[in-house]
Structure 1
């Protein structure tokens, strides 16, 4: 089972940095950005996280909270978050429950070898808990600006 645009996102609870537990239903009334990235402290993931960090005031103004998700553990997440001064929480998805819910585990090729990995993807959930937009096979440059524009547009329409 995976989520589709226009459909409610099934409720979930996940462990995140800063000793927080994220429950989707508790965020009703706010828009939620969930972005999946392959690995903490790698160049593309650092750039993407930095772009979200640098635009956080604009996301907050658009009634939107942001969470990064990867399969890394909480300790790696805490180090990554502290080192990059991220002003949002990172969700640890070691069991891949969210990865499967959002269907982001894909066959990837690296150095000629195939492996299953997280495809960089972003999801925008509206204040009622429905999936409003999705971006798959994300290229980092300019991506956060696109997500912010969509968050503003949906927030203004609500």
Structure 2
């Protein structure tokens, strides 16, 4: 079951980089951006992560935590985070628990073959833990800036939530 705009996001706990465990319930009081990407250390995912990294001070100023999620293992996520200098945690969702909450596993085609994979998607959760905005089928250029602007608007209390 997928979460809807304006609805509380179910509490999920996941393994993250830096020997951390992240629970959405522990982040209440702060806005949360969760962005899902297909695979660590690939060009589009590297660009997207870098765009969020470069805007992190602005997200911090908007009381917003950034979390990146893919089905890669923790070691791959650690390597990706270190190599790219990401200043936020990456979640390893090998069992697709977090992916399932947000319904981001989709049938995709690569070189004519169909497979199930992560659809590049981003979700903005408000400080009370409700889904405020979602972006699906994301195109990387300009996306992190658009998410930042939505987080800033939400923090000011003027984002129209469902």
TM value normalised by structure 2 = 0.96
Deviations 1:24-68 (A, max 9, x none): 111110000000000000000000000000000000000000000
Corresponding residue for residue 146 of structure 2 = 146
Deviations 1:58-101 (A, max 9, x none): 00000000000000000000000000000000000000011111
Corresponding residue for residue 79 of structure 1 = 79
C-alpha separation in 1, matches of 2:105 and 2:12: 18
3-state DSSP class of the match of 2:156?
Answer: helix
C-alpha separation in 1, matches of 2:140 and 2:123: 14
Q: Which structure 2 segments of 5+ residues have no match?
A: none
Corresponding residue for residue 91 of structure 1 = 91
Q: In the comparison of the two structures, how many residue pairs are matched?
A: 158
C-alpha displacement at 1:4, in angstroms? 0.5
Corresponding residue for residue 56 of structure 2 = 56
**Matches for 1:9-158 after TM superposition, within 5 Å:** 9-157=9-157
C-alpha separation in 2, matches of 1:105 and 1:13: 18
C-alpha separation in 2, matches of 1:64 and 1:74: 23
C-alpha displacement at 1:157, in angstroms? 1.0
C-alpha separation in 1, matches of 2:104 and 2:33: 15
C-alpha separation in 1, matches of 2:35 and 2:84: 16
C-alpha separation in 2, matches of 1:92 and 1:149: 27
Q: Which structure 1 segments of 5+ residues have no match?
A: none
- What stretches of structure 1 move > 3 A for 4+ residues in a row? none
C-alpha displacement at 1:142, in angstroms? 0.3
